[in-house]
């Protein structure tokens, strides 16, 4: 497996570069959880109006950017970003208030009888705080993972010290997060899918899943290193360890993917994209655990020997 490590590095490099370009061009389509705004979900009793009909009906209210999505057979989800207002003494960003909320419902009822299922409003300040807390949460998880791996592998000092296992695991995690975010930036741009707290929850789940897979392989490498004694071929140990854990990693990932496919097919609007994020992350995470993290350990050991 290690003899193909340059091919694996090339594949990972191309995927990361493509993801960074996608993020730079398309950016993540942040939802009201991060930007502030209002979400309204309604269910029409008879025919669901088209997006164009709903948008034309609401255009008279001057609501600014409106995202409309279908839900179930007769439902609609409408998202309104916080509108910036500068008028007299009042300035700043404002959400849909109760009076405007009732005006929206009245306009939509012109298109047919309906039932309101959900109305949520998040201020722009709270949205910004949520964004910052999400970044801190992901960063803290990554640091804790690195510290834990360095501690867990403290019994290993040759050919690499334990903290280097932690750094390699974190590199693999960044690889997974960047590619997942890059794919989702393109999905958000072309399919108008917004990123909210479920996306952050999915990223944290991916971090946990991916590092678990990586630790299992690293732990087998550690066991085999200790079993070999003072003289051994580190490359052969890594190949042997990956072979011993390969079937387990693939089977676990496939089992999880089957569940996620069911969520994608039968889940609601929010669950569907949560499942999609997890599916992308698990595929990429399984690849990085097997074909990126272990080869990186070997390459680092080779660099150390050359010095």
d(CA 135, CA 156): 32
d(CA 60, CA 51): 15
Question: In this prediction, what percent of the chain has a pLDDT beyond 90?
Answer: 63
The whole-number pLDDT of residue 150 equals 86
Per-residue pLDDT tens digits for 26-53: 999 988 888 888 889 999 998 999 999 9
Residue 127 pLDDT > 80, yes or no? no
Residue 84 pLDDT > 60, yes or no? no
- Mean per-residue pLDDT, 246-265: 94
Q: Residue 228: which pLDDT band, with cuts at 50, 70 and 90? A: confident
Q: Which domains does the chain have, with CATH numbers?
A: 2-32+126-306 (1.20.1640.10), 37-122 (3.30.70.3400)
Per-residue pLDDT tens digits for 149-193: 988 888 777 788 889 999 999 999 999 999 999 999 999 999 888
Question: In this prediction, what percent of the chain has a pLDDT beyond 70?
Answer: 93
The whole-number pLDDT of residue 91 equals 41
pLDDT, mean over the chain: 88
pTM: 0.84
């Amino acid at each position: 497996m290690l003899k193909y490590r340059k091919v694996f590095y090339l594949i990972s490099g191309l995927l990361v570069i493509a993801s960074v370009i996608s993020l730079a061009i398309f950016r993540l389509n942040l939802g009201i959880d991060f930007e502030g705004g209002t979400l309204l979900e309604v269910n029409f009793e008879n025919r669901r109006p088209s997006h164009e009909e709903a948008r034309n009906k609401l255009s008279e209210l001057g609501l600014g950017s409106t995202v409309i999505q279908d839900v179930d057979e007769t439902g609609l989800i409408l998202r309104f970003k916080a509108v910036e207002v500068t008028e007299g003494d009042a300035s700043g960003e404002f959400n849909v208030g109760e009076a405007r909320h009732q005006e929206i419902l009245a306009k939509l009822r012109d298109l047919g009888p309906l039932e309101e299922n959900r109305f949520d409003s998040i201020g722009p300040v709270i949205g910004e705080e949520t964004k910052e807390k999400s970044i801190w949460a992901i960063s803290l998880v990554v640091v804790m993972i690195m510290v834990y791996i360095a501690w867990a592998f403290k019994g290993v000092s040759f050919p690499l010290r334990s903290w280097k296992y932690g750094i390699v695991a974190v590199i693999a995690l960044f690889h997974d997060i960047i590619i997942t975010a890059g794919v989702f930036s393109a999905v958000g741009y072309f399919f108008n899918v917004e990123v909210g707290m479920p996306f952050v929850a999915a990223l944290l789940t991916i971090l946990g899943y991916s590092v678990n897979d990586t630790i299992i392989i690293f732990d087998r490498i550690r066991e085999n290193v200790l079993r070999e004694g003072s003289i051994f071929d580190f490359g052969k140990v890594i190949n042997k360890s990956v072979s011993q854990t390969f079937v387990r990693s693939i089977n676990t990932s496939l089992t999880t993917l089957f569940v996620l496919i069911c969520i994608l097919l039968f889940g609601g609007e929010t669950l569907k994209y949560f499942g999609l994020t997890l599916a992308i992350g698990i595929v990429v995470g399984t690849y990085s655990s097997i074909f990126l993290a272990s080869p990186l350990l070997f390459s680092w050991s080779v660099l150390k020997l050359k010095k």
